[in-house]
Amino acid sequence: FVLCLLMYVITLLGNSILISVSVLDSHLHTPMYFFLSNLSCLDIWYTSSALTPMLANFISGRNTISFSGCAAQMYFSLAMGSTECVFLSVMAYDRYVAICNPLRYPIIMNKKICVRIAAGSWVTGSFTALVETVSVLQLSLCGSGVINHFTCEILAVLKLACVDTSKVQLIMLVITVLLLPMPMLLICISYAFILSSVLRISSLDGRSKAFPTCAAHLSVVVLFYGTALSMYLKPSTMDSQEIDKFIALAYAGLTPMLNPIIYSLRNREVKVAVKKFLSNINVSYISLSDLK
């Protein structure tokens, strides 16, 4: 309980601060931080859908969930995870345009385009999650009704089906390929062009400005896609429910917790904005104290 609560609180605080500084600091009103704010929203929703019921179960001692509650938890977890897959590839494209086509960057990634891309990412993740959730919950479930997992994770629920699941597994495989290897391929292509452009920069200062945000994004990509691929595209011979639970905990709690920390440590602009944001809170607190 203490471990999960700590992860949840750090996730809420870190991502909330990142969203706040991106909105309040005018220097961060750029496409990259707009997408980063969306990513932080995703992390908060995803962690809340997975860890909040588990924390409640720890306190109450009850390990039951209603069918509708299970469906909602499954849908939101899938929707947030799927949308994050799309957003990470979009952020890689944003870095590609910013570094490889800096003069055209304000035109290509204008406000209207960014809003449309963000909306398209949310719709894509929500729609694919709806298809997967409906296809699984239409199956006849039998047995003890006990899910061998700490959430209504789709693969764990699928094991309760007492009918042929080959059609559902095919649907999940197609969606997984579209949302994991395909975006990863786009990210790799984007960073191949980025690396080529950075290596052509003659000044050391120019390279030092390009590397931090790219390094932060790549760290998040490796962390997120590494756990996702090990969960949904591992060989059947490596199928282990205990390993799945551990990966799911890292996927739902550890990754969203580390994302804002990675971006803050790797990015000078974010660190300056966070310091300014925290100092403003402190000044406001002191002022209110003086009035009292």
- Give dist(CA 261, CA 17) in Å, integer: 11
* Cα end-to-end span (Å), the chain: 38
- Identify the band that residue 121 occupies on the pLDDT scale cut at 50, 70 and 90: very high
The CATH number of 1-283 is: 1.20.1070.10
**CA–CA separation, 149 vs 157, rounded Å?**
9
Structure tokens at 94: 């944003």
Residue 244 has pLDDT above 80, yes or no: no
The secondary structure element, H or E, covering residue 141 is none
pLDDT at 75: 93
pLDDT confidence of 130, banded at 50, 70, 90? very high
Q: Where are the domains of the chain?
A: 1-283
What integer pLDDT is reported at residue 128 of this predicted model? Answer: 94
The yes-or-no verdict on residue 220 having pLDDT over 70 is yes
Q: Report the percent of the chain where pLDDT is more than 90.
A: 14
Q: Report which of 170, 73, 183, 88 is spatially closest to residue 129, judged by C-alpha positions.
A: 73
Give me the amino acid identity at 205.
Answer: D
The mean pLDDT value for 12-29 works out to 83
Rounded distance between C-alpha atoms, residue 228 and residue 222, angstroms: 10
**For residues 146-175, average pLDDT:** 86
Per-residue pLDDT of 26-42, as tens digits, reads 777 888 889 988 988 99
Question: pLDDT (tens digit, 9 = 90+) per residue, 179-207?
Answer: 888 888 888 898 888 888 877 766 666 56
For residue 215, what are the contacts with CB-CB under 8 A and spacing of at least 6? 266
pLDDT top residue among 159 and 275: 159
Two tokens, residue 173: 């495989």
Tokens of 187: 């990210």
| pLDDT reported for residue 83 | 92
